[in-house]
Amino acid sequence: MTQHPTQSPQFFLTAPSPCPYVEGQFERKVFTHLVGDKAPELNDLLTQGGFRRSQNIAYRPACENCRACISVRILTSEFEPTKNMKRILRRNTDLIGAMHDAEPSTEQYSLFRQYLDARHRRGGMSDMTVLDYAMMVEDTHVETKVIEYRRRGPDSFITGRGEGELLAVALTDRMADGLSMVYSFYDPEMEDRSLGTFMILDHISRARAAGLPHVYLGYWVNGSRKMGYKVRFLPQEHLGARGWERYAEPETDAG
């Protein structure tokens, strides 16, 4: 097994590769390993500094000519759902999310493949095997949970678990100041449920109940249709040159 130092993390820089979000740009990332007893503490510090976790790696963009990727976190104590979000919550009152340890299952992978094939067929994760998926879930040295969403059953109020088919999954890190949504996916045939939005709303509720001030959503890229949903959850903060600052929503025409 490869050994990595746990006291002073070493940082590395990737080679340039085509950016998946900004056409004509090339991305580079700075990264370090999250291993050992200090991994949770280091993950907290790095996430607060704009890093994201993927397995036992923490990374952030380090592009030479672009600063389009902006870290986003929701302020849970002040959050108020919009009318549309309230409709989404009502639409999914029959669902319940059960939190488990970070353990993969064939049922999760089957849903993961359906999601990728429908939504991200040409993405960087499109060729992930069941072993790759297992590593994505299990290879963590921080407090990571899997939340499985299913329909409520008659005993759900006792067990805290749903019944029937798996409809959505969130891979989530619990940190000292919030929840970080590492990756989520859902049944692509249930578009009317807006399950992606529902899972974020559920995480806001979970964080608020736990007294955690933030839900970290990763990176937002202004102008990217894939990322546009992230700025709908207000109020929120964006990480810039002067640290975390409250995001001012652009004014729109009433008509």
Q: Which residues have a Cβ under 8 Å from the Cβ of 47 and sit 6 or more positions away?
A: 53, 58, 173, 175, 180, 216
Same domain, residue pair 21 and 109 = no
Residue-wise pLDDT for 131-190, tens only, equals: 999 999 999 999 999 999 999 988 888 788 889 999 999 999 999 999 999 999 999 999
The answer on 84 and 46 residing in a single domain is no
Residues 6+ apart with CB under 8 A from 92: 193, 195, 198
Q: Are residues 233 and 111 in the same domain?
A: yes
Total count of domains within the chain:
2
pLDDT of residue 253: 44
Does 5 score more than 50 pLDDT?
no
- Per-residue model confidence (pLDDT) at position 7: 64
Q: What sign results for the dihedral spanned by CA atoms 190, 191, 196, 202?
A: negative
Residues 88 and 182 in one domain: yes
Residue 254 has pLDDT above 50, yes or no: no
> Do residues 108 and 166 make contact, with C-beta atoms less than 8 angstroms apart?
yes
Length of the chain: 255
Q: Do both 153 and 61 map to the same domain? A: no
pLDDT at 86 over 60: yes
Task: Quickly list DSSP for 94-105.
Answer: TEEEEEEES---
pTM assigned to the model = 0.91
Q: Which of 208, 199, 210 lies closest to 172 in space, CA to CA?
A: 199
Reported confidence tier of residue 76, pLDDT bands at 50, 70, 90:
very high
**End residue of a domain, out of 51, 69, 87:** 69
d(CA 79, CA 205): 10
- CA gap 17, 126 in Å, rounded: 17
Q: Are residues 104 and 229 in the same domain?
A: yes
Give the domain extent around 115: 74-246
Whether the CB-CB separation of 168 and 126 falls below 8 Å is answered with no
pLDDT 10s digits, 121-130: 666 676 899 9
Q: Give pLDDT, residue 159.
A: 83
Which runs of consecutive H residues, i.e. helices, occur in the chain?
39-48, 83-91, 106-119, 130-138, 156-159, 195-209
Round to whole Å and give the CA distance between 166 and 135. 20
The answer to whether residues 53 and 158 belong to one domain is: no
Same domain, 47 and 60: yes
Counting residues of the chain whose pLDDT is more than 70, the rounded percentage is 93
